[in-house]
Structure 1
């Protein structure tokens, strides 16, 4: 005979996963996704690639999944979306099983399940590949590790210690932050099952031995690979603002279906922006719920909320040490993905505080699914739906998708031999902090028929800000008029110095030289005292674009054929940009 509770939970999980899939489907790959795909395109799944850090993140499992999804579907969003949906489903089922393991099998168990399944705190993990490929495995590892520890606490079977260690390893293969799952296992044991700190350490020492071994091995490996990401906060006010935002803007509203309003963050996921009244409402509702559970089940509920407080303190401390003192500090506390893992602990704490621990429930008053709880769940679902729709509206705006679509359409119509010079993509597609993966050569690398990049060419095309292919031009100082009537500067014999209207800084530049030649020849060009670059001269009226490194207020041209007659009075140095419309 089917279990009604399990059947309802299955329907809830299916609805949650489907809703996240619909929201995710409105968007596309974004920001960090493109550098991850560029790395996957240029590498085979060797240890050198898999164990390479990305933005200081240890994610060999993420690299492998990205490599497989790229090989299977290229720039298509389908494989990535399918993996996110599968990960969401796996975490959801595992969390329900954890609730059944720890809590009494009553209808009230659906309260923490609803919170976890529908909280907007995890919207980014279910929609954005670069976030989900880290966070979803970490959440799964947290749930599996806690479940394994609870089973070991009850049975003392060594098999559960093996599962415990493997669960932690699973998370660490995708996200170094999963090391916090080790602390979570200890906190759950101490707060919910132990009788004091020393008793917890002594009674379940084999668990701590396994977790210590796994932790030390991982930290040794990560320390050898990573550079320090520790930052120093600029002030106490910065830290307090961050903590206040994380709790009042993000966590508390998120647990009751908020934040209800989002602030756009470019191509990435929007950040939480609840109005002041909504923030205070979340605080009041949370305080009332905590007080109610403590009144009904004082000891167990108090321990559950301490578990949440301790874990949240660890997360905020880690974020404070790695995210403060940067240009993003002012909004870091409003970014839900930074505390998406807290959703697991918060939902578990809500369940324990409301339902009690399975072993101790017969000694405590039962809380039934009252009309008040049903009304609260309905309000939570409606609130989460409203927030999710508004999130989806922002997630659907994807500059990277539009830029790529325009570029692919134009590339398909270009004649053979069309060439480009490598430049950064627009900052709204991949930001400069991701250099060198913000270069067009990296961005378009996964395309089977992508653009051809050169360092010199006669007819250079560029991508404009929307991704359309247009003729290239130079934005920068041009030459002063030449001394020869009808010729400008005659390039014959030795080097000819061509003064510019302004000086240029020493760096990489593009020089455009329009010339008239009476024969095919060769020539060199340099900017100031920079290294000379050779190029071919073609008979007739032509132009040549050349990438050079140098600086100064003059261009030096020299012909490789003294008999060639080469004239130019159109030289420009600077950045390659779309040609102005006629």
Structure 2
């Protein structure tokens, strides 16, 4: 057993070292930036987020930041429509409590625990990678220790040390899991499943646990994992397998009753999940099924021996396997041939009957294929759309739980085929040089894949962008010194426009969307907040009244004409106005392409004082006219001067 411990220690060092290197080069990515705003009640059309930390957390609304309230149903409807436009996402109710929000699926995922953790970390340390990295690194160490304990338990139950070493190594250095742990959102989901699987195995292989204790422990572990990922529904298969193996070895069929409660939990949770998940159906999009064969050859099969070693990445997506088919096909054929040879050796050398060995092997292969098929079916069902490419099935984190499940059933199959009786201490059986060499080869191969996967992020601009965004936007916002900020999308290689409206600077930074401001600023390509101005595309025509321009009186709405019509979009207007007494002006863009209700939903209200002032107002619409309605005491009027309309861009220094 000395070689077992030595190789296991080396594997652990490689695993922890590779994870440390990986995390040192990574940062927040994609869903990590979206989930906090999704669950905090982000308002994309202007207003404070619905408080996720309590109703009294926001004592006052900053100037230029109107809130959505029941008194403004049109604005609330427009906000809801904007949120629903995000690809594949349902949204929490605008006035739901925090628990209700957390139990709303995000992009098909039901993960209240994951969402709560990300929201809490984001609130405490926004746009920072340090806390997620420390948590992922710590959980990696815990998981590595857990797999070592599982391997020791398996040896005590009869598995060969060589098999236990290979399974331990493959589970620790899995390239499928490594890709997930380099991504905060995916890491929580994946590690929750992995830790739950380890917990189930340790409980199931603890000889003194009885039926009731097993049932309670299994159910508790699975329920905890389900709070972090709906993928934990598949843990019932591990529960059933470890219980069946133990019942066979101990000749205690009554132990199978320990699976009843987890099975009931699985069925109930699955029924609930399917009723609220809201999978989209886009039959006109790219069919993921057409990319499966290439994914099997370039990722899935090479990944079984630590591959695929070669990656590519298209901003702002995650890396995908890019092993050349000329290499992938021979490697895949060699792996399949090797697996067939190993199966033949197991059957021919089994101390049990040949029939029993073949049955166990058939169950292992069948279970692995069934799980992989389920992963692919869910991928096809949930991800086939106009926004999908053939790269998706070559993204490794989708297969992390399948690979671990396969390793688990192989390990339990080794126990089922063993002729040794369980013992309280690992027997003094040599690991075998071949197994030690194979384990080290697997560890080195997977470490290479982890390093090359990490290197594909070297030119990613997100880390620097978020660091600057935190310094110039988030920190001033938390200090109360940030002026109202108009909505602006993040650069396209940080967050895709497909995530609109959650790809906005306001959503990422947790800053309320303003409809108007007296200090126009935008975030530049480096992530820094800089002074901005309107690039003139059009302007309202100058009025004819002396010392006033265009006069609009309360109770008498007026339409002003632009010198150029505008295409549909978000525009910033230099609104130069003064009132005879403090009033508000409701601004909209009526046109022949939208109904009155559609125009009304997009209207904004701007306060106007008695001193002439320029305000930069964000308006949404199309056409060559702007409607203004003064809201104030009878006789109140507003004088409107000429002002440019166009996109808000950084001022050239």
Give TM class, smaller chain.
0.7 to 0.9
Tell me, what secondary structure is at the counterpart of 2:127?
A: coil
Tell me, what secondary structure is at the counterpart of 1:404?
A: helix
1:37 CA displacement:
3.1
Q: Which runs of 5+ in 1 are unaligned?
A: 446-450
1:337 CA displacement:
1.1
Among 423, 428, 437, the residue aligned to 2:488:
423
Q: Say whether the 8 Å CA contact 1:504–1:551 is kept in structure 2.
A: yes
Kindly tell me: are residues 192 and 419 of structure 1, through their superposed partners in 2, closer, same or farther at Cα, counting changes over 3 Å? same
Residue 443 of structure 2 is matched in structure 1 by 381
Identify which range, 270-279 or 32-41, moves more after superposition.
32-41
Identify which range, 123-132 or 550-559, moves more after superposition.
550-559
Larger relative contact order (C-alpha < 8 A, sep ≥ 6)? Answer: 2
1:32 CA displacement:
0.8
Q: Say whether the 8 Å CA contact 2:569–2:621 is kept in structure 1.
A: yes
Aligned pair 1:545/2:616, yes or no?
yes
1:564 CA displacement:
8.6
> CA separation in 1, counterparts of 2:334 and 2:298?
14
Residue 216 of structure 1 is matched in structure 2 by 267
Residue 195 of structure 2 is matched in structure 1 by 140
Kindly tell me: are residues 92 and 326 of structure 1, through their superposed partners in 2, closer, same or farther at Cα, counting changes over 3 Å? farther
Residue 241 of structure 1 is matched in structure 2 by 290
The normalised TM-score by structure 2 is 0.74
Residue 465 of structure 2 is matched in structure 1 by 403
> CA separation in 2, counterparts of 1:315 and 1:413?
44
> CA separation in 2, counterparts of 1:107 and 1:172?
33
Residue 571 of structure 1 is matched in structure 2 by 644
Q: Say whether the 8 Å CA contact 1:17–1:88 is kept in structure 2.
A: yes
Superposed CA deviations along residues 14-38 of structure 1, whole A, max 9, x for unmatched, are 4312321221121111111122333
Q: Say whether the 8 Å CA contact 2:316–2:494 is kept in structure 1.
A: yes
Residue 165 of structure 2 is matched in structure 1 by 110
Superposed CA deviations along residues 319-348 of structure 1, whole A, max 9, x for unmatched, are 232223452252221111111101212333
> CA separation in 2, counterparts of 1:75 and 1:185?
38
**Structural mapping, 1:4-83, within 5 Å:** 5-6=4-5, 8-38=7-37, 42-44=51-53, 47-70=99-122, 72-83=124-135
Residue 529 of structure 2 is matched in structure 1 by 469
Q: Say whether the 8 Å CA contact 2:211–2:255 is kept in structure 1.
A: no
Kindly tell me: are residues 417 and 291 of structure 1, through their superposed partners in 2, closer, same or farther at Cα, counting changes over 3 Å? closer
Aligned pair 1:343/2:403, yes or no?
yes
Q: Say whether the 8 Å CA contact 2:522–2:649 is kept in structure 1.
A: yes
1:260 CA displacement:
1.4
Residue 419 of structure 2 is matched in structure 1 by 360
1:274 CA displacement:
1.3
Residue 587 of structure 2 is matched in structure 1 by 526
The normalised TM-score by structure 1 is 0.82
Q: Say whether the 8 Å CA contact 1:191–1:304 is kept in structure 2.
A: no
Q: Say whether the 8 Å CA contact 2:550–2:640 is kept in structure 1.
A: yes
Residue 393 of structure 1 is matched in structure 2 by 455
Residue 503 of structure 2 is matched in structure 1 by 438
Tell me, what secondary structure is at the counterpart of 1:395?
A: coil
Kindly tell me: are residues 301 and 96 of structure 1, through their superposed partners in 2, closer, same or farther at Cα, counting changes over 3 Å? farther
Aligned pair 1:288/2:337, yes or no?
yes
Aligned pair 1:93/2:155, yes or no?
no
Q: Say whether the 8 Å CA contact 1:84–1:126 is kept in structure 2.
A: yes
1:356 CA displacement:
5.8
1:520 CA displacement:
8.3
Aligned pair 1:254/2:325, yes or no?
no
Kindly tell me: are residues 503 and 374 of structure 1, through their superposed partners in 2, closer, same or farther at Cα, counting changes over 3 Å? same
Kindly tell me: are residues 32 and 375 of structure 1, through their superposed partners in 2, closer, same or farther at Cα, counting changes over 3 Å? same
Residue 169 of structure 1 is matched in structure 2 by 223
Q: Say whether the 8 Å CA contact 2:174–2:400 is kept in structure 1.
A: no
Q: Say whether the 8 Å CA contact 2:110–2:277 is kept in structure 1.
A: no
Aligned pair 1:120/2:180, yes or no?
no
Residue 277 of structure 1 is matched in structure 2 by 326
Residue 562 of structure 2 is matched in structure 1 by 500
> CA separation in 2, counterparts of 1:367 and 1:258?
31
Residue 88 of structure 2 is matched in structure 1 by none
> CA separation in 1, counterparts of 2:636 and 2:109?
60
Q: Say whether the 8 Å CA contact 1:527–1:551 is kept in structure 2.
A: no
**Structural mapping, 1:478-489, within 5 Å:** 478-479=538-539, 482=542, 489=549
Q: Say whether the 8 Å CA contact 1:192–1:303 is kept in structure 2.
A: no
Superposed CA deviations along residues 461-480 of structure 1, whole A, max 9, x for unmatched, are 11123322233334574137
> CA separation in 1, counterparts of 2:639 and 2:548?
10
Among 608, 619, 637, the residue aligned to 1:536:
608
Q: Say whether the 8 Å CA contact 2:288–2:390 is kept in structure 1.
A: no
Q: Say whether the 8 Å CA contact 2:109–2:277 is kept in structure 1.
A: no
Residue 448 of structure 1 is matched in structure 2 by none
Q: Say whether the 8 Å CA contact 1:21–1:127 is kept in structure 2.
A: no
> CA separation in 2, counterparts of 1:335 and 1:524?
51
Kindly tell me: are residues 457 and 170 of structure 1, through their superposed partners in 2, closer, same or farther at Cα, counting changes over 3 Å? closer
Residue 374 of structure 2 is matched in structure 1 by 314
Superposed CA deviations along residues 329-377 of structure 1, whole A, max 9, x for unmatched, are 5222111111110121233355567x66474359xxx997555544444
> CA separation in 1, counterparts of 2:213 and 2:610?
76
Number of positions where the alignment pairs a residue of Structure 1 with one of Structure 2: 561
Kindly tell me: are residues 230 and 437 of structure 1, through their superposed partners in 2, closer, same or farther at Cα, counting changes over 3 Å? closer
Kindly tell me: are residues 232 and 504 of structure 1, through their superposed partners in 2, closer, same or farther at Cα, counting changes over 3 Å? closer
Aligned pair 1:229/2:283, yes or no?
no
**RMSD of Structure 2 on Structure 1 (CA):** 4.1
> CA separation in 2, counterparts of 1:126 and 1:359?
34
1:132 CA displacement:
0.9
> CA separation in 1, counterparts of 2:100 and 2:583?
43
> CA separation in 1, counterparts of 2:641 and 2:375?
64
Tell me, what secondary structure is at the counterpart of 1:472?
A: strand
